[in-house]
């Protein structure tokens, strides 16, 4: 982190795409398709990283992406320029989004709520910028059970340092489901990935009126 709490992980940003190549092809592709499926209107890609979601968005959608880490953002910007994606890139963090209330038809988060430093404030911002009836779609890795959770708890401090601030033991699904600003449209757990980064939860929440 920088002194003003802006995340800045140059090494993590440099290795992110090469480290994810296999997982993108073998695991993540159908889940990214799910996140972007049929989204039109105004869409926010929260914590966009290097822009791995950009190729999946429908060209009819107006896509904004936020990425507070300047090293990630630089790679996302190159991806936009190289492929001429029509994505507007912003630097605000999830807990302090630079958009008006009810601005988006959909917010997408892929592997971001493991990393945000203020989970509650970030979810509150998703609520604020999503219009009533709009969808929050997510794919997140979460705390496991039994011996796998004990492994996660043991390696968590080192992992957080190596993996750009990522927390392994968050109970993200139950925190999302218990937020009474949303109706759960769909929420599934997948025994995907390799301990300590497994399982994953994926789903859609609808913002209540
Ligand atoms: C594991 S990466 C996922 C990137 C991308 N969403 C993807 O699917 O490949 C987590 C991302 O969250 C970003 N991040 C960290 N803190 C954040 C915050 N407070 N608000 C928004 N994004 C944040 C990191 O910089 C990083 O790019």
Cα(178) to centroid of ligand 1, in Å?
23
With a 6 Å cutoff on the Cβ, whether 93 touches ligand 1 is yes
pLDDT of residue 84: 87
- Please tell me which residue, 84 or 109, carries the higher pLDDT value: 109
The Å distance, Cα 147 to ligand 1 centre, comes to 27
- Is the CB–ligand 1 distance for residue 116 below 6 Å? yes
Q: Which residues contact 14 (CB under 8 A, 6 or more apart)?
A: 71
Comparing CA positions, the residue from 203, 166, 174 lying closest to residue 31 is 203
Mean pLDDT of 41-48: 98
Each residue's pLDDT tens digit, 145-174: 999 999 999 999 999 999 999 999 999 999
Task: State the pTM of this model.
Answer: 0.96
Ligand 1 lined by 68 (C-beta under 6 Å) = yes
Pocket test for ligand 1, best of 1, 4, 7 (most atoms within 8 A of CB): 7
Give the pLDDT mean for 109-117: 98
Tokens of residue 199, six digits: 């399982």
| Residue 94 near ligand 1, beta carbon < 6 Å | yes
The domain spans of the chain are 10-207
First to last CA, the chain: 37
Extract long-range pairs of 90-93: CB within 8 Å, 24+ residues apart: 90/64, 90/65, 90/66, 91/66, 91/67, 92/66, 92/68, 93/6, 93/7, 93/66, 93/68, 93/122
CA torsion sign for 99, 90, 116, 56 is: positive
Asked if 20 contacts 83 with a C-beta cutoff of 8 angstroms, the reply is: no
Q: Which single residue is written with the structure tokens 């991806």?
A: 79
In the reported structure, the alpha carbon of residue 156 is separated from the centroid of ligand 1 by a whole-number distance in angstroms of 17
Q: Which two tokens stand for residue 94?
A: 């999830």
What is the pLDDT at residue 4? 59
- Which residues lie below 8 Å from residue 143, measured CB to CB, with a gap of 6+? 149, 152, 168, 169, 170, 171
Rounded to the nearest integer, the mean pLDDT of the chain is: 96
With contact defined as beta carbons under 8 Å apart, do 139 and 110 qualify? yes
What's domain 10-207's architecture? 3-Layer(aba) Sandwich (3.40)
């Amino acid at each position: 982190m920088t002194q003003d709490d802006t995340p800045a992980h140059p090494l993590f940003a440099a290795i992110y795409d090469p480290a994810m190549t296999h997982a993108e092809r073998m695991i993540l592709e159908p889940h990214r398709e799910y996140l972007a499926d049929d989204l039109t209107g105004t869409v926010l890609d929260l914590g966009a990283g290097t822009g791995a979601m950009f190729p999946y968005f429908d060209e009819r959608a107006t896509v904004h992406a936020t990425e507070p880490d300047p090293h990630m953002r630089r790679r996302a910007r190159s991806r936009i320029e190289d492929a001429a994606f029509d994505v507007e890139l912003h630097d605000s963090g999830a807990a302090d989004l630079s958009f008006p209330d009810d601005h988006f038809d959909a917010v997408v988060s892929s592997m971001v709520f493991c990393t945000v430093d203020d989970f509650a404030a970030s979810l509150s911002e998703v609520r604020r910028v999503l219009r009533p009836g709009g969808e929050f779609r997510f794919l997140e890795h979460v705390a496991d059970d039994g011996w796998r959770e004990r492994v996660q708890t043991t390696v968590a401090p080192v992992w957080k340092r190596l993996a750009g601030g990522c927390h392994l033991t968050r109970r993200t699904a139950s925190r999302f489901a218990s937020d009474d600003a949303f109706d759960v449209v769909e929420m599934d757990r997948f025994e995907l990935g390799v301990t300590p980064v497994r399982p994953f939860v994926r789903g859609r929440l609808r913002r209540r009126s």
